[in-house]
Amino acid sequence: MLDNALRASVRGHVRQVETLTDLEAGHFAAVTTVERAFRGCTIGLGVAEAADGEIVALDDLVWRVPADGAPLIARPELGLPFAVAASGGVASTVPLPAGTTMSTLVSAIDRVRGDAAPGSVVAVRVDGTFTDVLLRSEPRQEPPYQLLSHVLEHEVRFAFAEWAGTLVGFRFPDASDGVAIPGLHLHALAADNASGGHCHRATVVAATLTAWIDDVEFTVS
């Protein structure tokens, strides 16, 4: 078991802009920008202004995946209504067994988290090859904005029998408090940068999990 001093030394930091409640209510107007939200981050995810695509941040680049499923480099000034970004911390890296699914990935992440303090957030990166992958994005919305549930009724899905790339995201506590998205939330970017989006499901062929245990800060406008 880590003592408090050692635990503090290995922690990173997660900053979330806006809340799940606001996103669900259809607050899709920008409250920050790509540059402000993801500057210096290790990994991150978010939603573009007007719900015009899923945001994926990794390897010092930020991508927007619009409704056609083809990732584009996001402009620094692009507005965001919601974003989560991780920085710092000491990573733990473990191989994932073939056949790992989204549900068993949660168990693997929780083993890395171990006895970390309740409410800790785990920033997650999974690199590898996968089967049975289902990704999604959504079409751009126009004001007055509808509820997120209505937008997702019209989401665009992309299925892949085989897929290689990176999943990034966050494992928040399972209990919903209206602030954070509960459980595991992942966005994806293909190794060839040709596909991506929110990840509904994936099954590991060969992959590595990298995880950072983080403190969390919420910023609400």
Tokens 């003592």 -> residue: 3
pLDDT band at 191 (very low <50, low <70, confident <90, very high): very high
- Residue 3 pLDDT exceeds 90: no
Residues contacting 152, CB < 8 A, separation 6+: 138
Rounded Cα gap, residues 133 and 182, in angstroms: 21
For residue 1, pLDDT over 60 is answered with: no
| H and E: helices and strands count for the chain | 5, 13
Q: What tokens were used for 79?
A: 């507005």
CB count, 10 Å around CB of 168?
26
- The reply to whether omega before 144 is within 30° of 0 (cis) is yes
Answer yes or no: is pLDDT of 5 > 70: no
Is the pLDDT at 2 greater than 70? The verdict is: no
| Arithmetic mean of pLDDT, 93-115 | 94
pLDDT of residue 118: 67
Q: Which helix (H) or strand (E) holds 20?
A: helix 20-24
pLDDT band for 49, please (50, 70, 90 cuts): very high
Q: What is the pLDDT of residue 176?
A: 85
Question: What's the pLDDT at 181?
Answer: 94
pLDDT band per the 50, 70, 90 thresholds, residue 137: very high
Return the pLDDT at 4: 43
Q: What is the per-residue pLDDT for 219?
A: 85
